[in-house]
Homo-oligomer: A and B are copies of this chain.
């Protein structure tokens, strides 16, 4: 049985079998100290001259040895190697950049070009362990709350919002699109009897932005919930998830958080502030004007700062966006003329969620399509669902890479994306 680095302390075998890559080599006369790196950590190996021969950085090896305490090495344990086998021989002249330093000293674009090399650096790989646990926390929380996991199509016949900013696909003799979101499908699955659904899947945006916070292909954590009373149920659910998420990450990723120098503070109650009020505060306090019916990036950042100072919260729900600025399926708010039962969630200055209650009445949805200048017949397959007793419902979506980035204070969303796709990049 193979022992991983993070298991070696507890291992009881006489001879311990370990595998991984040569991370560092120090030669000291007749013996060599080699750091072995596996997916869980780094351990020092003690080799004799014969064993060390032919080893280069990043050689993949399989060793057996006895463990010994050594207070001078990280982890306090080293392995005195008895047998060593090279299982993966390198074939390079020079590494593209060193990956055994505290930081990878290469431009982000270079790191992305050599993605499988840069990811070998523990600090570059760590965000993806955290990302995996974000997904795990998401799934566990919503399953516990009676949600079903779905997989809905990404190849679709028409756009959810009319087809702008979508990638087109040549589908046999027809044109298809890549889904911007599973919005229509998750609503349909609520109506199909699943009642509460979530999906972890790719979403595609053909946006011409090339910024630190945009991707053209990303993973969307989507939630939709039937039989709600109002959009407050949705915000309660999301707030509950975020709190669970922080606990889960603290428990499961303590090493990664330490490596990335992040201290997570569990969120308190998240303020819910209507957009108009937020805009007024921005104007009064920072002399910041906002675009009609929204906050811009600067406004989000400033308002987050205000919320942090006033409520000591990194999160804030902005509520009650105007009808004209939200999609056609958004439920109007009968308590406030011209506004909707929708919200965004801003986290440390960045929007990570859009959500809200949806229209569930067939006639109201059809009328709203006409009011938006859309043809109901273009949405037949979607509208059909609403003819058979659609319950009140709503939901939200979180961008996985965005929440990873903000949680870990990364300065570019590409550092939270294994293989980013943007305006210029479609490889590796």
Residues of A within 8 A of B (CB): 2, 4, 19, 21-22, 37-39, 56, 58-60, 62, 87-92, 95, 114-117, 119-120, 125, 128-129, 132, 135-136, 146, 148-157, 167-172, 174, 176, 178, 185, 188-189, 191-196, 201-202, 204, 206, 208, 216-217, 219, 227, 360-363, 381-382, 384-392, 400, 418-419, 421, 423, 426-428
Whether A89 contacts B170 by the Cβ 8 Å rule is no
Residues of B within 8 A of A146 (CB): 4, 39
**Contact A204 B155, beta carbon cutoff 8 Å:** yes
List 13 other contacts, CB 8 Å, given A91-B362, A128-B194. A4-B146, A58-B388, A58-B389, A89-B361, A90-B388, A119-B192, A135-B149, A152-B418, A155-B204, A171-B426, A172-B208, A174-B426, A381-B428
Which residues does chain B contribute within 8 Å of A155, judged by CB atoms?
167, 178, 204, 216-217, 421, 426
Tell me the complex Cα distance, A171–B208, Å: 11
Residues of B within 8 A of A135 (CB): 149
The docked-state distance in angstroms from the alpha carbon of A37 to that of B195 is 11
A62 and B188 CA atoms in complex are apart in Å by 20
In the complex, residue of chain B having the shortest beta-carbon distance to the beta carbon of A195: B39
Offer 28 A-B interface pairs, CB within 8 angstroms, sorted by A.
Answer: A21-B193, A22-B389, A37-B193, A39-B193, A58-B388, A58-B389, A59-B389, A60-B389, A60-B390, A88-B390, A91-B361, A116-B189, A116-B192, A116-B384, A117-B192, A117-B388, A120-B193, A128-B148, A135-B149, A151-B202, A153-B421, A167-B169, A169-B178, A172-B423, A174-B426, A176-B426, A202-B202, A381-B428
Do the beta carbons of A170 and B168 come within 8 Å of each other?
A: yes
Give chain A's interface secondary structure class.
mixed
CB contact between A157 and one of B91, B116, B117, B427 (< 8 Å): that residue: B427
Task: Tell whether, in the assembled complex, residue B169 and residue A386 are in contact, meaning their CB atoms are under 8 Å apart.
Answer: no
Contact A87 B227 (CB under 8 A): yes
A383 to chain B, nearest CB (A): 10
* CB < 8 Å neighbour of A132 from B149, B208, B426: B149
Known: A22-B389, A88-B389, A89-B361. A154 touches B188 (CB 8 A): no
A129 touches B148 (CB 8 A): yes
In the complex, which residues of chain B have a beta carbon less than 8 angstroms from the beta carbon of A114?
A: 384
Cα separation A91 to B376 with both chains bound (whole Å) = 15
Given known contacts A116-B191, A227-B2, A426 and B39 CB-to-CB distance under 8 angstroms: no
State the CA gap A285–B167 with chains docked (Å). 52
- A4 CB contacts on chain B under 8 angstroms: 146
Q: What's the least CB distance linking A133 to chain B, in Å?
A: 10
> Known contacts A202-B202, A426-B157; is A125 also within 8 Å of B382 by CB?
no
Query: Which of B87, B119, B219, B384 has a CB less than 8 Å from the CB of A391?
Result: B87
Smallest CB–CB gap between A132 and chain B, Å?
A: 5
Among candidates B128, B157, B176, B206, residue contacting A172 with C-beta atoms closer than 8 Å: B206
User: Residues of B contacting A167 with CB < 8 Å?
Assistant: 155, 169-171
Chain B residues with Cβ under 8 A from A227's Cβ? 2, 19, 60, 62, 87
- Chain B nearest CB from A403 CB (Å) reads 14
Pick the most buried of A148, A174, A192, A208: most chain B CB atoms within 10 A of its CB.
A192
Output the nearest chain B residue to A184 by Cβ-Cβ distance: B428
- Nearest 5 interchain pairs by C-beta: A381-B428, A119-B192, A91-B362, A60-B391, A116-B192
In the assembled complex, the CB of A126 is this many whole angstroms from the nearest CB of chain B, namely 11
Among A2, A146, A363, A428, the most chain B Cβ lie within 10 Å of the Cβ of A428
CB atoms of B39 and A196 under 8 A apart:
yes
Q: How far is the CA of A384 from the CA of B90 in the complex (A)?
A: 11
A385 touches which of B116, B136, B156, B423 (Cβ 8 Å): B116
| Chain B residue contacts of A388, Cβ below 8 A | 58, 90, 92, 95, 116-117, 120
